[in-house]
Amino acid sequence: MPAYTSGSNEGNTWPTGEDSIATTLEKLLNEIRSVIVGQQRPIERMLVCLLAKGHCLLEGVPGLAKTLSVETLAATTGASFARIQFTPDLLPSDITGTRIYRASSESFDVELGPIFVNFLLTDEINRAPAKVQSALLEVMAEQQVTIGGTTYPVPTPFLVMATQNPIESEGVYQLPDAQRDRFLMKVILDYPSHAEEMGIVTRMAVKPPKARPIIDLDTVKRLQAVADAVQVDPAVQRYAVDLVHATRNPAAFGLPEWAPLIALGASPRASLGLVRAAKALAVIRNRNFATPQDVFDVAPEVLRHRVSLSYDALARDIDVEDVLKAIVGMVPAAWVQPPQYLRNSTPGMSTVAVTPSSTQPLQSPLTAHAAPAPQSPPVQPQQHPQPNGQVIEQVPYR
């Protein structure tokens, strides 16, 4: 596949036709779906993490194909893969590596651990104590491991996919806040529908399918470069920051009754994560610019593990999904029309502009059973002409 050149808008190139971005990602998703039945949203979010160079925390009860999904994604990209089963007796050196004394040479050799791969699956990460979980902090943040005073970089691209079981209460350790914040997304897997489970039984009964490589690591790096080059309007950035600030100060966004229920809001890393994930989702949706809808759609996965609830919320049986539903339902966003150069800067990508006149009500990605957001009087849209010719329209984001 021809190289992608990042930098100025005139230098951004990508092949069209059978090698276009949309076609490449469609082939990749179709190959994953040939193995995994259902779980459409989790699969898409895992691909978002790959393009955004972020790590992913998968949570679900046993038997929902968490491990199989990660293995399949690694197989379709031709990447190196390792799986570590976390147990209470696991040691940090079992993950990162250690120094071994060689009596024959009377010297120490460094034995690198299984962490030096492109895709690292940490299965049941909450079964290991905090000192083992924290062994991943340096490699997740800085893409390197320090052993005996020497730093060893991990291969690129590098992605940590961790799974955890939410129903276990014995023999498990809650992830430290600093560890959870390193994950770009926390993806929840739910039970398949009746039709999907019939498909699982039919597909896996005889000979389970195996995924084949669709792209190579060089293509993955170029796709990540495409995601990095996606344009983000300041209004979209402002909406991402508003969502994060609403978790810290709900009263400033018309949600004073939710303030006592939040013990700790999201960190600035959440604002960065929202923008990065929105840019990756725009690439998957065949666009070279991000919109508020992209930020809106990734908000649950980016924020749910970064918001801590108070004891009052737990006593009232209110979970983080209820809080996030109220926040994304009340924080407004401004739609802007992308400049003309964005519509022709990347061949093979969509050039449909989001204009104020074509604004549609946003559909919530959160669960339907969550508590309803507090009601407020309707707000009329207002148009604000800008000196550069753009028109910003402020609309209620409900």
Q: What are phi and psi of 162, to 5 degrees?
A: -110, 140
Closest CA to 116 of 147, 149, 72, 86: 147
DSSP state of 329: H
Q: Enumerate the β-bridge partners of residue 394.
A: 334, 382
The residue ranking higher by pLDDT, 303 or 38, is 303
pLDDT of residue 362: 46
pLDDT of residue 206: 80
Q: Is there a contact between 59 and 163 (Cβ–Cβ < 8 Å)?
A: yes
Packing angle of the helix pair 40-51, 21-33 (nearest 10 deg): 130
Distance CA 344, CA 338 (A): 11
pLDDT of 365 over the 60 cut: no
Q: Is there a contact between 362 and 296 (Cβ–Cβ < 8 Å)?
A: yes
Distance CA 373, CA 392 (A): 26
Q: Is there a contact between 124 and 21 (Cβ–Cβ < 8 Å)?
A: no
pLDDT of residue 88: 86
Q: What are phi and psi of 81, to 5 degrees?
A: -140, 140
pLDDT of 12 over the 80 cut: no
The residue ranking higher by pLDDT, 34 or 16, is 34
Distance CA 154, CA 76 (A): 20
Distance CA 189, CA 199 (A): 17
Highest-confidence segment of 75-79, 124-128, 392-396: 75-79
pLDDT of 376 over the 50 cut: no
pLDDT of residue 23: 86
Distance CA 324, CA 366 (A): 8
pLDDT of 9 over the 70 cut: no
pLDDT of residue 372: 42
Q: Enumerate the β-bridge partners of residue 146.
A: 151
Extended beta strands in the chain, E state: 55-59, 81-85, 97-102, 107-112, 119-123, 144-147, 150-153, 159-164, 183-188, 262-264, 308-309, 333-335, 382-385, 391-395
Token reading at 76 = 């379709």
pLDDT of residue 340: 53
pLDDT, mean over the chain: 80
pLDDT of residue 136: 84
pLDDT of 188 over the 60 cut: yes
Q: Is there a contact between 239 and 333 (Cβ–Cβ < 8 Å)?
A: yes
Contacts of residue 60, Cβ cutoff 8 Å, sequence gap at least 6 = 66, 163, 165, 166, 188, 189, 190
Handedness of CA 295, 301, 307, 311 (dihedral sign): positive
Q: Is there a contact between 156 and 77 (Cβ–Cβ < 8 Å)?
A: no
Burial tier of 210 (Cβ tally within 10 Å: 0-12, 13-18, 19+): exposed
pLDDT of 7 over the 50 cut: no
The residue ranking higher by pLDDT, 361 or 137, is 137
Q: Is 175 left (phi over 0), alpha (psi -120 to 50) or beta?
A: beta
Domains belonging to the chain, first-starting first, are: 9-222 (3.40.50.300), 230-395 (1.10.8.80)
Least confident of 35-44, 286-295, 367-376: 367-376
Structure confidence by residue, pLDDT tens digits, 331-358: 988 776 665 545 544 444 543 333 332 3
pLDDT of residue 232: 92
The count of residues in the chain is: 398
Q: Is there a contact between 239 and 221 (Cβ–Cβ < 8 Å)?
A: no
Residue showing tokens 């309803």: 372
Radius of gyration in angstroms for the set of CA atoms belonging to the chain, rounded to a whole number: 22
CA 30 to chain centre: 20
Structure confidence by residue, pLDDT tens digits, 249-283: 999 998 999 999 999 999 999 999 999 999 999 99
The residue ranking higher by pLDDT, 395 or 179, is 179
Structure confidence by residue, pLDDT tens digits, 148-181: 888 899 998 999 999 988 876 666 777 878 888 8
Distance CA 9, CA 26 (A): 25
Q: Enumerate the β-bridge partners of residue 188.
A: 59
